[in-house]
Amino acid sequence: MEVTLRIFRYNPEKDKKPHYETYKIEAEQTDQVLDLLNRVKWEQDGTLAYRRSCAHGICGSDALRINGVNRLACKVLVRDVGTKITVEPLLGMSVIKDLIVDMEPFFDHYRIIKPYLINDEPLPVGERIQSQEERARFDDTTKCILCAACTTSCPSFWASGEYIGPAAIVLAHRFIFDSRDRGARERLEELNGRMGIWRCHDIFNCTDACPREIEVTKALGEVKLAIITGRLD
């Protein structure tokens, strides 16, 4: 079948403003949107810029707006979106070129929540033991691949790019509820700040956008409760 691909194009070094270009491609129902982008780049227009790596939904580098919805280009098939496909960069981030956005502010927010185990207690002789129940407490949020689909689908983030955003809070959740970690208080204090978790109004766009099916809004709710009650169970 023939697919029409409409792609956002912008080269700030040359273009006064963004525009869209349209490409026609022969495709199968089971082709990924990423396959189509690759075909455009390799067969029609080598100047097209986009990020990709694993092509299997693991690296998180190809989150894009596909027909207006944030998705990983490698996890969306032609049969999911039809034969007229519009591909745009994530909203709320500045465009470096075409579909590539500047992820640095996103990773700055990620660094704020100290995404590593904090524990200054003396090391036990073996490992820091954790029960299966304790591990299960934060299992869902370990699945995050930092694709930014959640944060860039959030109206609070569109309103202010300073809002720390759901992705950083999901990663904070992963450590706050880890029984081996001792840094929960400092993370919760950070998230309780002006651009922290209270900018979340439970809109659920983040949960809908997450390609890993993480219950993002639920995780944010648990972090809010921990701030209010001071309890980490």
The residues of the shown chain that bind ligand FES, judged by CB under 6 A, are: 52-55, 57-62, 72, 74
**Nearer of residues 93 and 144 to ligand SF4, judged by Cβ:** 144
**Residue 101 C-beta: closest distance to ligand SF4, Å:** 14
Asked if 164 is part of the footprint of ligand SF4 (rule: CB under 6 A), the reply reads: no
Burial class, 65, CB count within 10 angstroms (exposed 0-12 / middle 13-18 / buried 19+): buried
Q: Pick the binder of ligand SF4 from 188, 214, 220, 226 (CB under 6 A).
A: 214
Report the relative pairing of strands 95-97 and 100-101 from DSSP bridges: antiparallel
As given in the structure block, the two tokens for residue 167 are: 């992705």
Q: Is 209 exposed, middle or buried (0-12, 13-18, 19+ CB in 10 A)?
A: buried
Burial class (CB in 10 A: 0-12, 13-18, 19+), 232: middle
Give, for 174, the enclosing helix (H) or strand (E).
helix 166-176
Answer for which of 99, 216, 223, 226 binds ligand SF4 (CB under 6 A) is 216
* Cβ 95 to ligand FES shortest distance, Å: 19
Q: Which of 25, 147, 154, 223 binds ligand SF4 (CB under 6 A)?
A: 147
Residues comprising the chain, all counted: 233
Contact call for residue 93 and ligand SF4 (CB under 6 A): no
- Rounded to the nearest whole angstrom, what is the least distance from the CB of residue 64 to ligand FES in the complex? 10
146 lines the binding site for ligand SF4 (CB under 6 A): yes
Are 131 and 45 spatial neighbours (Cβ–Cβ below 8 Å)?
no
Nearer to ligand SF4, 45 or 108 (CB): 108
Applying CB under 6 A, the residues found at the interface with ligand SF4 are 144-150, 166-167, 170, 209-210, 212, 214, 216
